[in-house]
Amino acid sequence: MPDSRVPRRRRYLVCEPRHFAVQYAINPWMRPDEPVDVIRALDQWQTLVGAYRAHGHTVDTVKPVPGLPDMVFAANAAVVVDGRVFGSLFHAPERRPESVPYEAWFKSEGYEVYHPESVCEGEGDLVPAGRWILAGTGFRTTREAHREVQEHFGVPVISLTLVDPYFYHLDTALFVLDDDTIAYYPEAFSPGSREVLARLYPDAVLATGEDAMAFGLNSVSDGRHVFISPGATALAGRLADRGYVPVPVDLSEFHKAGGGIKCCTQEIREIRS
């Protein structure tokens, strides 16, 4: 395939894992009795930030808060489309305080933040995809939140039902490669949602169960480069065959909390000129 994929510079918001730990269990990956190597986690996180910057992307940071071990998963804090911020209302009480420091950061940057009335976990379940927003439900974000998102942004929202608790957020089962293409793991979705995705994206890149369990779908793409878990070897090969350039980044320490590359990355989407 010719070298035709074009990257687009992105702006990402991240949070240093200074207080990262697994202190409770709110998904099947989390085992509080399994220790977290915070030094290793910090090293992996710095490698991810370095990879983004090396590929020309802007990276902003929000200050971590003691007592909020999952605050490193910046994607869950909000979704930003055309410079408008839709905040989060976390399902788990343990995570609800995370919304406060993220909202403060956005306000310090001059943004207004919409407060959802329904449970909604940011880019964890809300994935802007060109003409519409793909929206997950089943474990965290509610269908009522999907309605709020559509009303707030004025963008069509496509509701998708997740059925496997290991893929509790949409961004663990699907990611956007560019405005026209996605990669996803079909078995993470209900039969009807699989049909919807097949109709919308007949040329999607499909992942295996092994790819998905290796957090291969918790990836970030700039349209050409795909920052991906090194364990998702089959998926990386399929992406390369389609003209994308896999950039392996090991975030395995964060897998202990059910997170990976995308979970640690909030994209700030301004209005395109």
Please count the CA atoms within 13 angstroms of the CA of 197 that sit on its side-chain side.
Answer: 30
Q: Which two tokens stand for residue 9?
A: 């510079």
CA–CA distances in Å: residue 35 to residues 31, 63, 80, 107, 260: 9, 23, 33, 35, 17
**169 belongs to the catalytic site:** yes
**19 belongs to the catalytic site:** no
pLDDT at residue 98, as a whole number: 98
pLDDT values of the chain reduced to their tens digit, one per residue, 273 residues: 446 799 999 999 999 999 999 999 999 999 999 899 999 999 999 999 999 999 999 999 999 999 999 999 999 999 999 999 999 999 999 999 999 999 999 999 999 999 999 999 999 999 999 999 999 999 999 999 999 999 999 999 999 999 999 999 999 999 999 999 999 999 999 999 999 999 999 999 999 999 999 999 999 999 999 999 999 999 999 999 999 999 999 999 999 999 999 999 999 999 875
Q: Which of 91, 169, 225, 255 is catalytic?
A: 169
How many CB atoms are closer than 10 A to CB 23?
14
- Which residues make beta-bridge pairs with 247? 227
pTM above 0.95, yes or no: yes
Who contacts 200 (Cβ-Cβ below 8 Å, separation ≥6)? 158
Q: Which of 15, 120, 263, 264 is catalytic?
A: 263
